[in-house]
Amino acid sequence: MTQKEITRLRVINQTIDGVLTIREAAELLGLSERQVLRLKKGVVEEGPAFIIHKNRGRKPKHAISDGTRDLIIKLKQTKYKEANFNHFQELIEEHENIQVSYPTVYRILTEAGIKSPKKHRKRKVYHRRKRKPQKGMLVQIDASPHEWIIGGSSFDLHGAIDDATGEILALYFTPNECMEGYFEIVRQIVTNHGIPTSIYCDRHTIFVSPNDGKLSIEDQLKGKQVNLTQFGRAMDELGINIIKAYSPQAKGRIERLWGTLQSRLPVEFKIHGITTMEAANAFLAEFIVKFNKKFGVKASDPESAFRELEPEVNIDFILCQKEERQIIANSGFSFNGKYYQLYKNGKKAKSIPKAKITVLTSSKIGIKASYAGVVYDTNLLDERPKVAVKSVPNSESKKAKHVPAKDHPWRNSGNEKPIPLYESFLLRVKRQMPKSKKY
């Protein structure tokens, strides 16, 4: 019998002996008068044992069986060792058909001395910025290096999250954080959702030139501007505004996303037998759907801020590197130490001598060139392109020979030396001059 039950029995005995009234006993025990009457009657008829709860020592009908409890502990220690408690509860429900609540899982595992691998440390509190009202109004992008495949090498995950809904818009793995990775997530966003209004990013040199903000007042007055990066130029062509963050906390929504993904994705890869970066990229589309279904929220304004890409615009010709080059000869140009020829519809392009062209390069399109709004294919040349020589008719090619006059000094016979032209000129001038008078 517990201390509470001993106190309750003592007060009930006092009501039986007439020391306390039913109302006074109810006030002392914090019970209703009806409950005190029930306890008094039970003690009189069945004795002090009536105070003890009837379910004591009996296992509840809805309790987890010992076999299920042991299986949960075994799965956590083996197959799902790396999963945190919340993710573990979702996994055993999805893959093992074990229907238990998170508090039950937490109680079973903590009683077994198992701690969650996810660290819960006290963090500095920051003012949380209010979400944007419409989906697509602001998209946060970033990349995170991590050992995404358990026991494998580290590589980078590029990602984008919508500020209004918290939904993942795109994910893509590359060996390192790079422009190609960011181009790929922008391609996924535009293809699957549309063109967002603005993108929120850090001040990595992929997004911002190192010279940004370093122009002097004199240079600014002269009209000088810092050149856009290749990513900045592509966003400018798509009409997407780039907002630069000055601290990780400023883009806290995607920073918190990395903590969630670093905890969940490696476990998902292990369960599905994924061991390569290529297989991981193929799995991400399925994972994004499941993640958004669980963690996504509704925007305060149901109207979307995404806009569709015009059908005539080829996104691959925007999400690429662009560099200026000049035609050398015969519609050929030099690029990265090699020579290329312009082709259109499988035929060599017409010669456009010394024209300025834009070279487009990416892993999606290879090497192409743009001139006057037309995109050309290219073909690698073995040598530098040569200027084509025009064929001239024989009649025009023969030039008339100059025949000197009969009185030309060069026609002097004998051993006399021919008089130079300038001396002959001086002699003629001297003869024509009037003779000076003598005084």
User: DSSP string covering 382-404, please?
Assistant: SS---PPPPP--HHHHSPPPP--
Cβ-count burial 200-223 (b if 16+ within 10 Å, e if not): bbbeeebbbeeebeeeeeeeeeee
Long-range CB contacts (within 8 A, 24+) of 268-271: 269/148, 269/149, 269/150, 270/82, 270/150, 271/79, 271/91, 271/95
Residue with tokens 């501007």: 225
DSSP 151: T
* pLDDT number for residue 439: 45
* pLDDT number for residue 119: 59
pTM over 0.75: no
* pLDDT number for residue 52: 77
Instruction: Look at residues 251, 286, 246, 248 and name the one whose alpha carbon lies nearest to residue 265.
Output: 286
* pLDDT number for residue 356: 93
Segment holding 323, helix H or strand E: strand 321-326
C-alpha dist (Å) from residue 367 to 317, 321, 411: 11, 10, 66
Does residue 322 contact residue 359 with C-beta atoms inside 8 Å? yes
Instruction: Look at residues 352, 158, 323 and name the one whose alpha carbon lies nearest to residue 257.
Output: 158
Burial class (CB in 10 A: 0-12, 13-18, 19+), 178: middle
Residue ranges of the chain with per-residue pLDDT less than 50: 438-439
Does residue 317 contact residue 375 with C-beta atoms inside 8 Å? yes
* pLDDT number for residue 223: 67
Instruction: Look at residues 2, 8, 17, 55 and name the one whose alpha carbon lies nearest to residue 36.
Output: 8
C-alpha dist (Å) from residue 328 to 332, 354, 383: 6, 6, 12
* pLDDT number for residue 251: 85
- Residues 291 and 230: their CA atoms lie apart, in Å, by 31
DSSP 228: P
Cβ-count burial 402-435 (b if 16+ within 10 Å, e if not): eeeeeeeeeeeeeeeeeeeeeeeeeeeeeeeeee
